[in-house]
Each structure stands twice: as C-alpha cells, then as structure tokens.
Amino acid sequence: MYAPKDVEKPIVPVRLDMESTLCFSCDKELACFTKCCHNNSTFLTPYDIIRLKNRLNMPSDEFLLLFTMPGKIEASDLPVPVIKLNPEKNNACPFLGEDGCTVYEDRPVSCRYYPIAAGLFHNHDLENNENFFALIKEAHCLGHDLGQEMTIAQWREDQGIPPYDEHNKGWVELILRRKSLGPFVEIPEKTLQMFFMACYNLDAFRRFVLKSNFLNIYEIPEDRLQKVKEDDVALLYLGYDWLMTTFFGAGRLKLIEHVAEAEEIEVD
C-alpha cells in the first residue's frame, strides 16, 4: 500500500518480509542527498495529513489547498492527495529546505519507508492480510549497502512507522473493500466526496459531524463524541466507521431509532 514515491521508479522484484534485511543510510555527505525529494509523486495517507497540518498549525482544508493536488489510488477511482511540487525549485517537495526536510519529524510514511515499498496482500483464505515489501533501487541513490544491517521490522521501528500503519489501517481496509468490488462497479461522485472528506479533510468532517444531522442519525456515545471534538485520530476512526457503515453496510455505527424520519445529511 505504501508504494514508492513514483510508480515508475525501479523496484527489485523480490518479495520481502519483516525478517528480511537491508543496509541503507541517508546522509548529508552523500552526493545524492535530497535528490529523491525532486520530481516524485508522493501520495499522502490520512495520518500523514494529521501530522503535517498540525505541525504547520493550519486546518486540513487549507493544507490540502496549498500543498496537495488530486490523485487516484492505483486500480481504484478513490481519491488521494498528492504532494504538490514546486516548479520554481526544480520540482522539489515544498517541504524541502536548504538543509533537508523541514518537516522531518512529521514526514509522510512513504518517506519513512524509503527505500522500501510496502504492500498488503488481501487473501480471503487467511484470517489476516499479509504484509509484503520490496526494495527500491534508483540509479542516483548512493545509500544502499551503507549503515547498519537491519531487518525490515527494525527499520520500521527506527523510522517511526508503526503508528502510521496503525492509524491508516481503516483507510487500507476501505481501499481493499473497494477493490474487491471490481473495476466495473462505478462509485458515485458524492460517495467519493464523502471518502475524501472523512479520510483527508478532517476539519471539514468534524464540522459535518457536529453541524449536520449526523448526530440525529448515528448513535455516538458521549465519551466518544468528546474525543472526536478534540482529537483528530479519534475523528479519523469515526470517519472509517462511518464509511464502512455507509458504503459496505458493515454496521460499525448504530442507527438511532426512527432514523427514517430524519432529514438526509448533505456533504458540502
């Protein structure tokens, strides 16, 4: 699911797992330093946006407008924000400064995984989905075979990846559910707007929950509602449950009795 930043970049055709090893180091002294921050296509996950917009102290709709452009998830018509490059600086990432990444502590998960491409195999015969990985080797990158040998599990810990993968699980599940419907099932535009808002534009989703008929339709316990008002991750999880309930009838949210009498809620 966390593909290389540019789908055209070379991926070594060997399937890796958590115990596979690599040696890699990115250092300012390397001639290739920050080359991977130019001319790439970096999509953002829901938790990426939470971390970045909070770091920049701006609402999600402003962040999306200033720093992203629309994209689509591979083999799906589901939308995904892609980082908008700066053409005046050789198509550099907007967060690239003279000394490297200016948002390094909150950098996107695809940057954290690099030089690893991470995916998820959806196997209906298994109780759990299988994680798999591959190595990305670009001609300009000089970091391979440098540094300490690590397993991929160790690399994930070292790069601070686990909370990203944990908070993006619901998003991945939605994507896999959508793909399971097949390419000939058309998703209505309103549904795509709901997906975008609940996954990426969380400040708009919070307004939607609190100011529309949402709370007249869905039974949200008071303790959960208080967390949703204050915590973006709690709000994101509510969004996942809402989308799973609305799109796939998963019943993650309980309907209030006599909900049929409530007015239909509208997505701005």
Give which of 139, 179, 117 is closest to 36, Cα–Cα. Answer: 139
* 35-63 mean pLDDT: 96
What gap in Å lies between CA 204 and CA 234, rounded to an integer?
A: 15
Give which of 263, 264, 245 is closest to 253, Cα–Cα. Answer: 245
Instruction: Count Cα neighbours of 6 within 13 Å in the Cβ-side half-sphere.
Output: 13
Residue 6: pLDDT over 80: no
**Alpha-helix residue ranges (DSSP H) falling in 38-137:** 46-55, 60-67, 109-113
pTM: 0.90
- DSSP bridge pairs for 130: 121
Are 101 and 107 in contact by the 8 Å Cβ rule? The answer is yes
Instruction: Count Cα neighbours of 197 within 13 Å in the Cβ-side half-sphere.
Output: 18
What gap in Å lies between CA 114 and CA 130, rounded to an integer?
A: 20
Q: What is the pLDDT of residues 226-238, one digit of tens each?
A: 999 999 999 999 9
Question: Which of the four pLDDT bands, split at 50, 70 and 90, describes residue 257?
Answer: confident
Residue 244: pLDDT over 90: yes
Residue 119: pLDDT over 80: no
- What are the angstrom distances between the C-alpha of 209 and each of 130, 197, 199, 213, 236? 34, 11, 13, 8, 12
pLDDT of residue 259: 56
* 187-211 mean pLDDT: 97
Q: ∠ CA(127), CA(174), CA(84), 5° rounding?
A: 130
pLDDT of residue 12: 81
Q: Is the peptide bond before 4 cis (omega within 30 degrees of 0)?
A: no
What is the number of residues in the chain?
Answer: 268
pLDDT of residue 124: 45
* % the chain with pLDDT above 70: 88
- DSSP bridge pairs for 254: 219
The residue that leads in pLDDT, 53 or 3, is 53
* Buried b or exposed e, range 98-117, using 16+ CB within 10 angstroms: eeebbbeebbbbbbbbbbbb
What gap in Å lies between CA 159 and CA 174, rounded to an integer?
A: 25
Are 127 and 120 in contact by the 8 Å Cβ rule? The answer is no
Residue 266: pLDDT over 80: no
